[in-house]
Every structure is written in C-alpha cells, then in structure tokens.
Amino acid sequence: MNQTQLIDAAKQQGGLTSDYKLAQALGVSTGRVSSLRNGDKAADEAEIAMLADMAGIDLHIALAAVHKNREKNPAKRAYWEKISMQFASVALAVTLVFTGFAGDARAGNGDLKSYKLCEISARSGELLGAPLCG
C-alpha cells in the first residue's frame, strides 16, 4: 500500500467524495492532500495515522506499508517489508483467533478454545520473533 492507496481507502471508507472534504477531515489544506496524492510530499506519521484510522486499517500495518513503498534504500526497504509481514501475520492471527471464538460461541458449546492464540503464535514464531506462549 502506498500513500495514494491509503488516501483513497480513507476517502472511500469515510464516505468522502472529494479531496477537499478529506483535507477538512485531516485539518490540512487541499494543496497538502494534492501533494500527498501526487507523491510530491511524504505523509508524516500523524497523517498516516489519521488516514489509517479513517480507512479502518491497523496503524502499524499502514505505517510499515507506506514506509516500505517510499523507501529507496534496498536494505531499509527489505527491513520495512519484514516489518510489514510481521504486522500482517499478527493481524491474521488475531483475526483467526477472534473468528474461532465467535464460531465457538455461536455453536453454543461453551468452549472458547483459548489455546488457539498459542497455537498460532507457535506456528508463526519465526515471523513474530518468539511465540506468545510458553
């Protein structure tokens, strides 16, 4: 995801029909939004955070993705790629855990299978750095 894609996602999810309305929501000028959209200027962390919030995207994932896509140094770009994968793995694990919880609750069996987070963490320990449990 680059910052233009983040801008578009924020506008779409926020129901904003113009860059003018997005600028108002962000508290910046339309010229600033235009510069961000065209890639003339880099979004700062606060702008990325506000756009991610408006788009319903995890802040960490948005920050890592935007930085990865604008980084020119291959070593730094590879690092941002690694960070992006870690955050995406954690987000997927959390989604799977909560999806499992909801499924168990709907089934009415009373067993929320709280061990799922440990199982997922153990399987993705290489990406997360270490399993969350034991």
- Asked if residue 54 lies in contact with residue 92, where contact means CB atoms within 8 angstroms, the answer is no
Number of helices and strands (H, E) in the chain? 8, 0
Q: What's residue 49's pLDDT?
A: 95
Confidence at residue 45, expressed as pLDDT on a 0 to 100 scale: 94
Scan for tokens 């992006």, then name that residue.
84
Tell me what pLDDT residue 81 has: 86
Check the CA dihedral 24-27-33-35 and report its sign. Answer: positive
Q: Read off the pLDDT of residues 68-81 as tens digits, 9 standing for 90 and up.
A: 888 899 999 999 88
DSSP 57-88: --HHHHHHHHHHHH--SHHHHHHHHHHHHHHH
Domains plus CATH for the chain? 1-70 (1.10.260.40), 84-124 (no CATH)
Q: What is the pTM of this model?
A: 0.66
The pLDDT tens digits for 110-128 are 444 444 455 544 444 433 4
Which regions in the chain score pLDDT beneath 50?
A: 101, 104-106, 110-116, 120-132
